[in-house]
Chain A
C-alpha cells in the first residue's frame, strides 16, 4: 500500500512522526515533490479564495500526489498539551477534499494531545483497522513515530539543517528516492561564518520559513549576507523560558514557538535584526506579530514583517531585504553609541 503525504503545512514539523509510524507498519509513504510553479497554480484553483497561502499550497501538493492508493490528511487538532493547532488545521480533511483527485480515497485520523495518551492510541488504533493493522502493531508504530519525531526535534537544537534531517528520514523510509532534489541550503561554505557578518533571525511558521518556493527563497537570500537563525533552532527550554512573561498563555502551539523564540531573539544583544515571515490572512500571526513588534520596539531591535501571498514578487522582497540589511548594518557600524538624548528621539518610532 502506498500512502501519499503532501509536502506542505504539518510536513515541516510532524512528518518524522508519521514517517516513523508508517515505516513501522510497512506502509510506503510517498511525498509530493518540492513546491514548483504548477503545484502552486493547481492549488490556487482548488482551494477557497479566503484561505491562506500555505493551505492553497497544500491543495496543490495533494493534486501532485499521483499513483498513490490513498491520500493521508490527518486532523492535527493539538500536538502538545493545552494547545491547539490553527483552526484551519482542524478542518483540513474537509476543506481540502475538493483538491483530492477523483477516485483516490482520503485517510484521516484525529491526533489530539489535549486528551490522554490512551485516547490518542485509541484513535490511532481505530484508524489502524482501516489499514488492516492490529492494536499491538499500531502501538509499536506509535512508539516508533514518537522516537523519530524526538530525534528530529533534538537534532534541530544542534543546528541541523531541516532539509538534511528530513532527507535522512526519507532515506530511511523504504522505496523513497530523493535523488531528484538537489541540496538547497547546504551551500554556505564554513569560512563565511565569521564574526563580522550580521546575525539576523527569521521567525515564522515552519511551513513558510522552510518552504523555499513560496517564500521566494528568503532563507538563501538572507544567508548570502548574514548568519540566519530560525525559530526551529531555539530549543524547547529556551522557548518555554521566554514564554513566562505572558499574562495570558498562548494557546496555539506554533504561536508559542514563534513568540518564545522571537522573544529570545529580540532580547538577545547578539542578534542584529529580526524578520517576521507571515502570510496574508494568518489569524495567529495577526496577534503574535503585534506582540513581538511591541517587545522589539521596547528593545530597540530592528524588526521587519514580510507578508507573503500568492502574488508576492521577487523584486519587492529583494528590495525590502536589502533595505533592511543595510539599515541594520548601518546601525551596527555607525550608531553603536547613541546618546541618551537621541534615545528620546526614537522612543515612539515604529521603524526601529
Chain B
C-alpha cells in the first residue's frame, strides 16, 4: 500500500510525518502547478470548485509515482467538500486509475467505522498508543510550521532582501519536514527567529524601524492555505511591504476539525463565531461564519485592509461575501474579494493587489498628514 493525499499548502509536511512515523509508505504528490491543475480540470465536472480540480490533479500525478491509496477527510455538509472523497473515487475509477479511497470520517456517525479505517491505513504493526503518539507529534509539527510561517509573514514586510527571506522559509520547511523529534522542531523555530532578528537589527540600524501596513487574509481554507491557488498572495503582499496575517492556520483547523476542539492549535478559530454574531449569527457551512468573524476581529485589531479569497461558486463564502460590506461599513476598513478558478492569472491578481495596497497607503498617509481627500491642490502640493 502506497498512500497519497491531496496538497493543501504546507499540509504535506505534517501528513508525510504522520505516515512515516507509522511506517506507512507515503507518496507526496508533486507540488501544485499548472500541470496539476490542467490534469485535474480535464477530469473534473466543469462547475466543481477549484480544490476538487487540484485534488484530482494531485492524484493523477501521484499515481505516476506509484500511489494506490488516497486519504482524505470527509464531512457531513453543508459544504460540498463532504462529498469530495466519493466524487473523486468515481471520477478516478472512470478515468482508469485504480485507487482505493479512504475517507477519514465516521461513516454514518459510527466511530467504530472510523477506527476501522484508521486501522486499515496504519496496518497491524502499530498499536493504538503508537498511532496516538504519531498523531500528537504531527500536530505539534503543524504548530511549529505555523509559527515559522507567521514569522516569515512579519519578516517579508520588513526585510529588504526578499529572496533571502524566501530561502529562509524554504530551508525551515525542509528542516521541519525531516526532523522527527520535538527538540528538532524547537530548534528550527528558534533558528528562524534568531536569523530574522539578526537581519532585522541590521536593517533597523540602517533605515530605522518601519511600521508596515497590515492586511488580514480571510476566506476559504484551501485557497488561503495553498499559495499556488491564491496566486502567492501572501508572498506578493510581503514584497510590497505589507505584513500579512491569516484567519486560519493549518493547526488551528486540525485542532478544531480533526481533534474536535481538544487542541487549540496556532491561532485558534474558536472565537470567530462569537465575533461574527452581529453580522451572521448562524453557521453557514464551511468557514463562512469564521470568515465574517475573522474580518471583524482583524478590523477591531486595527488592520489597514482585509482580503477575502475563495474559489468560484463556493457557497459558504458567497454568503460571507454578501455580509462583509456591512463589516466594511461598520469598521471603515476596506475589504477586497478575490475569486479564483482555473482561469485566474497571476498578473490579474498582482494588479489588483497593487491597487489595493496603493489605496491603503494613501489612506494611512492622509491620516498622518491630517488631510482628507477632495482638495486638488493638496494632492498637487504633496
Question: Are B90 and A90 touching (Cβ within 8 A)?
Answer: no
Residues from chain B with a CB closer than 8 A to the CB of A75 are 282
Interface 9-residue window, one of B81-89, B146-154, B211-219, B254-262 = B81-89
> What mask results when residues 261 to 288 of chain B are scored 1 for a CB within 8 Å of chain A, else 0?
0000000000000000001111111101
Question: Are A84 and B323 touching (Cβ within 8 A)?
Answer: no
Question: Are A250 and B83 touching (Cβ within 8 A)?
Answer: yes
> What mask results when residues 269 to 309 of chain A are scored 1 for a CB within 8 Å of chain B, else 0?
00000000010111111110111011000000000000100
Question: Are B80 and A283 touching (Cβ within 8 A)?
Answer: yes
Assuming the contacts A87-B284, A87-B288, A94-B279, asked whether A284 and B319 have C-beta atoms less than 8 A apart, the reply is: no
- Complex Cα distance, B106 from A12, in Å, reads 34
Residues from chain A with a CB closer than 8 A to the CB of B76 are 82, 251
Residues from chain B with a CB closer than 8 A to the CB of A36 are none
- Is A156 engaged at the interface, CB distance under 8 Å to the other chain? no
Instruction: Give which listed residue, B78, B87, B281, B285, contacts A291 with CB less than 8 A.
Output: B87
> CB within 8 Å of B: which of A110-145?
110
- Is B48 engaged at the interface, CB distance under 8 Å to the other chain? yes
- Complex Cα distance, B79 from A307, in Å, reads 21
Chain A residue nearest in CB terms to B310: A50
Residues from chain B with a CB closer than 8 A to the CB of A87 are 78-79, 284-286, 288, 315-316, 319
- Complex Cα distance, B94 from A110, in Å, reads 41
Q: How far is the CB of B297 from chain A (nearest CB, A)?
A: 18
Assuming the contacts A88-B315, A91-B322, asked whether A251 and B82 have C-beta atoms less than 8 A apart, the reply is: yes
> CB within 8 Å of A: which of B26-49?
45-49
- Complex Cα distance, B284 from A84, in Å, reads 10
Q: How far is the CB of A294 from chain B (nearest CB, A)?
A: 6
Q: How far is the CB of A93 from chain B (nearest CB, A)?
A: 8
- Complex Cα distance, B90 from A289, in Å, reads 13
Of the four ranges (under 10, 10 to 19, 20 to 34, 35 or more), the interface on chain A belongs to 35 or more
Most buried by B among A83, A110, A287, A294: A287
- Is B371 engaged at the interface, CB distance under 8 Å to the other chain? no
Instruction: Give which listed residue, B80, B286, B319, contacts A286 with CB less than 8 A.
Output: B80
- Is A85 engaged at the interface, CB distance under 8 Å to the other chain? yes
Residues from chain B with a CB closer than 8 A to the CB of A47 are 322
> CB within 8 Å of A: which of B292-333?
312-316, 318-323, 325
Question: Are A252 and B77 touching (Cβ within 8 A)?
Answer: yes
- Complex Cα distance, B323 from A167, in Å, reads 35
Instruction: Give which listed residue, A50, A110, A284, A289, contacts B318 with CB less than 8 A.
Output: A50
Chain A residue nearest in CB terms to B48: A286
Residues from chain A with a CB closer than 8 A to the CB of B83 are 248, 250-251, 287
Chain A residue nearest in CB terms to B108: A249
Assuming the contacts A48-B321, A294-B90, asked whether A91 and B280 have C-beta atoms less than 8 A apart, the reply is: yes
- Complex Cα distance, B47 from A246, in Å, reads 21
Instruction: Give which listed residue, B78, B280, B322, contacts A84 with CB less than 8 A.
Output: B78
Residues from chain B with a CB closer than 8 A to the CB of A84 are 77-78, 285
Residues from chain B with a CB closer than 8 A to the CB of A246 are 86
Question: Are A283 and B282 touching (Cβ within 8 A)?
Answer: no
- Complex Cα distance, B282 from A75, in Å, reads 9
Say what secondary structure dominates the interface of chain A: mixed
> CB within 8 Å of A: which of B156-176?
none
> CB within 8 Å of A: which of B330-375?
339
Residues from chain B with a CB closer than 8 A to the CB of A51 are 318, 322
- Is A247 engaged at the interface, CB distance under 8 Å to the other chain? yes
How many residues in B have their beta carbons less than 8 Å from beta carbons of A? 44
Q: How far is the CB of B257 from chain A (nearest CB, A)?
A: 16
Instruction: Give which listed residue, B47, B82, B94, B339, contacts A50 with CB less than 8 A.
Output: B339
Question: Are B280 and A283 touching (Cβ within 8 A)?
Answer: no
Residues from chain B with a CB closer than 8 A to the CB of A235 are none
Question: Are A283 and B82 touching (Cβ within 8 A)?
Answer: no
- Is A107 engaged at the interface, CB distance under 8 Å to the other chain? no
- Complex Cα distance, B289 from A95, in Å, reads 12
- Is B185 engaged at the interface, CB distance under 8 Å to the other chain? no
Q: How far is the CB of A296 from chain B (nearest CB, A)?
A: 13
Residues from chain B with a CB closer than 8 A to the CB of A266 are none
Question: Are A248 and B86 touching (Cβ within 8 A)?
Answer: yes
- Is A86 engaged at the interface, CB distance under 8 Å to the other chain? yes
> What mask results when residues 78 to 108 of chain A are scored 1 for a CB within 8 Å of chain B, else 0?
0000111111101100110010000000000
Assuming the contacts A51-B318, A88-B318, asked whether A291 and B90 have C-beta atoms less than 8 A apart, the reply is: yes
Q: How far is the CB of B277 from chain A (nearest CB, A)?
A: 11
- Is B103 engaged at the interface, CB distance under 8 Å to the other chain? yes
Instruction: Give which listed residue, A86, A95, A290, contacts B78 with CB less than 8 A.
Output: A86
Assuming the contacts A90-B78, A94-B319, asked whether A289 and B45 have C-beta atoms less than 8 A apart, the reply is: yes
Instruction: Give which listed residue, A77, A252, A281, contacts B313 with CB less than 8 A.
Output: A281
Assuming the contacts A87-B316, A95-B319, A249-B108, asked whether A287 and B87 have C-beta atoms less than 8 A apart, the reply is: yes
Residues from chain A with a CB closer than 8 A to the CB of B318 are 48, 50-51, 88, 95, 281
Chain A residue nearest in CB terms to B319: A91
Q: How far is the CB of A10 from chain B (nearest CB, A)?
A: 15
Chain B residue nearest in CB terms to A250: B83
> CB within 8 Å of A: which of B64-84?
74, 76-80, 82-83
Question: Are A91 and B108 touching (Cβ within 8 A)?
Answer: no
Assuming the contacts A87-B286, A90-B282, A249-B108, asked whether A287 and B321 have C-beta atoms less than 8 A apart, the reply is: no
Question: Are B86 and A90 touching (Cβ within 8 A)?
Answer: no
- Complex Cα distance, B279 from A48, in Å, reads 16
- Complex Cα distance, B108 from A21, in Å, reads 33
Chain A residue nearest in CB terms to B91: A290
Residues from chain B with a CB closer than 8 A to the CB of A91 are 280, 282, 284, 288, 319-320, 322-323
Residues from chain A with a CB closer than 8 A to the CB of B94 are 294
Most buried by B among A75, A280, A283: A283
Question: Are B286 and A248 touching (Cβ within 8 A)?
Answer: no
8 closest A-B pairs by beta carbon, nearest first, are: A91-B319, A251-B77, A84-B78, A248-B86, A87-B285, A87-B315, A290-B45, A95-B322
**A binding-site residues for B, Cβ under 8 Å:** 47-48, 50-51, 75, 77, 82-88, 90-91, 94-95, 98, 110, 246-252, 278, 280-287, 289-291, 293-294, 307
Identify 20 residue pairs between A and B in the complex whose beta-carbon atoms are under 8 Å apart, listed by A's number.
A82-B76, A87-B79, A87-B288, A87-B315, A88-B284, A88-B319, A91-B288, A91-B323, A94-B279, A94-B322, A95-B318, A247-B89, A248-B86, A249-B108, A281-B313, A286-B47, A286-B80, A287-B48, A287-B87, A290-B87
| With A88-B318, A287-B45, A294-B90 already in contact, 8 other A-B pairs whose C-beta atoms are closer than 8 Å | A87-B285, A87-B316, A90-B282, A91-B280, A91-B320, A248-B86, A248-B103, A287-B80
